[in-house]
Amino acid sequence: MNKLLIIGFGIIFSCQALASGQNSFGLSYSGKEKAEFHQVNHFLRNLERDLSAGIRFGVDRRIEIDFEDFQQSAEFQPQCQKKNSDNYIRRAGPQKLVFNKLLLAKILKRQTRDRVANCSHRQGLLVALTGQLLQLEGADDLARKLSYKELQDISYCRDQKRRKGIIAHRFAPKTKELCKQLAELEKRRRRFEYYQYRVKNQLYKVHLEFDPTHLTDKTLEQYAICERPYRPTKIMKSGKRLKVLGMAIIYMAPGFSTSVAGHVAERYVYCLENKLMDIMFEYTQMTSGELENMKSVYSKYLDGITDEYVQRQKSKIYMKVRTNPASTNMEGYGFLAFHTNRDLIEIWPKASEEAIYSGLQDSLKHYKKQKQNFIERKDFEVYSLLHNNCTHPVRERLNHFAGEYKISDMKGFYPPYIFGFLKKKNAEKMIIYPSQRTLRKLRMLEKGHGLFWENTTFWSRASEGKKGAGQGWMLLYPESHGLIKSLIVNSSYGAINLGAAIAETLYGLVTTPIRWLASLFGFKKFKVDKKQHLANGIKGIGMSLTEILGLRMRYPRATNWNEEELNYIHEELIYQEPRILDHLMLKVQQ
């Protein structure tokens, strides 16, 4: 029996080792001036994020960066062709690269994204950096397809090893060395592929760009996007110029104390003269909390508004508007990702500026109409689960875009269906702003830790054990992505949780009378813990039965950030750039 346990734990830990995503890749600059040192290294951190994961894992070493004068007489213009890479970067050693000194001024002045002839220095630098990194000894792009010759050589080496074992190639040292290198390459690729598989499982089985900058107070306004010259989409009657930069459909995944159906909203980013406008429009059912929000938003018009009118709006549909949503602002992405522990995913459709502008005007008209209704004491629109909920304006917008975005009422009825529909379409960007739990799990993978125990409530490091699970004897989080897998996992885990809930109910039936009697007669010796086991058990039975049917009902709550995480947020994340920034910079210069 002990041998079986040892073998079992050996398999578990070997699987965790295989899932390791730990790698030591990084770019570092050791300039003498403090301000220059910090600014250049922050630029390099963001440049690292733009490299493919296959290259980062395939290089797997620290690279020292310095700047040198390349003695270029001509004006240094952006060059995005690979043949011009030497104008940007040159090798100075096995782990050292030198950048063209002319780039230093561009970096310090934040001009690397400025485009000339549809190319920027940042793009040219990224092309050159990719090429130079792959020329380092032992470096490779682990995501690339193997060549036909490499596949043949691997097959030959396997065959020889299978037939001759350790004596294979004993008289052919070059072949032996080649087979050793190919075996190491295969091992590295397997680890990388398994790491990618684990990451993809955490990111809803779709390629999403990971952006945790919503956990900071940074906004897009600080990047001076709209201060560049641009061709306006529309010139308003007032003479003001408006330039549409993009629009996103926001899918808010279910989380702690939120609707189990999730939620959807819209985000518009545009320039109005030289000012960046970043607005989220959200339709929601009016609750007590939203009533307070409504009174706060329309506080100027409260004179003459009766409490009866305010209460009459309860359960109506309410349109909320938030500015700079991808930040820690009240009810912004960071606020929601922490307080409700929910993921937020943006899909930026490929649509014309005119189509996006039309959608923006529709949303603004709805918002103005709602304001006018409040001023005139008219009731808001009736909320309807089938005909007028958060998905209704999103369906209208997608059908206005038409083409591949045209969506039926059935596919657009349920927020997860809308996300499932959109993730299969062509999009400018797909970005995930992670919940606390997702962020912790992905950071664990990056550090080389496995996720074997993360579905167990009492051993989950991402939710700090029972702190995240809350009350009740729930044993497993029914956490998976994909229709078939969710049905199987949720049902199986629901059955196990049902057993735990029944046990807690029975325990509550026994201990509740004892607790009452102890309180009544003052027998402190017979007092048991004060948890409401009977109520929690009955509630757990109901939720477990729902989970057995395939619908997840319970989500972990967020816990306090630890010191290491706070340092990560305040010392690293604060210098990361939003993943949408490059796209917006490109659009404003088109």
Q: What is the DSSP letter of 431?
A: E
DSSP assignment of 114-149: -EETTEEHHHHHHHHHHHHHHTSTT---TTSPPPHH
DSSP assignment of 321-340: EEES-SSSSTTSHHHHHHHS
Q: Is 277 left (phi over 0), alpha (psi -120 to 50) or beta?
A: beta
Query: With b meaning 16 or more CB within 10 Å and e meaning fewer, what string describes 202-234?
Result: bbbebebebbbbbbbebbbeebebbeeebeebe
Tens of pLDDT, residue by residue over 557-570, are 999 999 999 999 99
Nearest to 91 by CA among 51, 64, 73, 112: 64
In contact, 37 and 73? CB cutoff 8 Å: no
pLDDT score of 489 more than 70? yes
pLDDT score of 9 more than 80? no
pLDDT confidence bin for 3, thresholds 50/70/90: very low
Contacts of 426 (CB under 8 A, 6+ apart): 350, 404
CA separation for the pair 558, 469 (Å, rounded): 9
Nearest to 195 by CA among 54, 21, 442: 21
Token output for 214: 């919503």
CA separation for the pair 428, 411 (Å, rounded): 21
Task: Specify the residue for token string 């100075």.
Answer: 92
In contact, 90 and 133? CB cutoff 8 Å: no
pLDDT confidence bin for 1, thresholds 50/70/90: very low
Dump strand ranges (E) for 436-541: none
- Residue 163 pLDDT: 82
Q: Can you name the residues that pair with 317 across neighbouring β-strands?
A: 285
Torsion of CA 412, 418, 421, 426, to 10 degrees: 120
How many CA atoms are closer than 13 Å to the CA of 389, on its beta-carbon side?
Answer: 15
Q: Can you name the residues that pair with 581 across neighbouring β-strands?
A: none
Which strands make up the sheet holding 62-68, listed edge to edge? 26-29, 62-68, 96-100, 89-93
How many CA atoms are closer than 13 Å to the CA of 267, on its beta-carbon side?
Answer: 24
- Residue 22 pLDDT: 65
Separation of CA 134 from chain center = 28
Element (H, E) at 282: strand 275-285
Tens of pLDDT, residue by residue over 178-229, are 998 999 999 999 999 999 988 988 888 899 999 999 999 989 999 999 999 9
Separation of CA 555 from chain center = 18
Q: What is the DSSP letter of 221?
A: G
Predicted TM-score (pTM) of this structure? 0.89
Residue 452, φ and ψ in degrees, nearest 5: -60, -40
Token output for 490: 């949720």
DSSP reduced 3-state for 15: helix
- Residue 521 pLDDT: 63
pLDDT score of 20 more than 50? no
pLDDT score of 310 more than 90? yes
CA angle at 270 for the pair 267 and 276, rounded to the nearest 5°: 105
Task: Specify the residue for token string 């996300």.
Answer: 419
Q: Can you name the residues that pair with 99 across neighbouring β-strands?
A: 67, 89
- Residue 5 pLDDT: 32
pLDDT score of 333 more than 90? yes
- The Cα-based distances of 358 to 229, 362, 389 in angstroms read 23, 6, 21
Q: Which amino acid is at 103?
A: L
Separation of CA 18 from chain center = 24
Token output for 142: 């682990």
Query: What is the gyration radius of the CA atoms in the chain, in angstroms?
Result: 28
- Residue 74 pLDDT: 65
Token output for 180: 């050793």
Tell me which range, 26-35, 61-70, 527-536, is most confidently predicted by mean pLDDT. Answer: 61-70
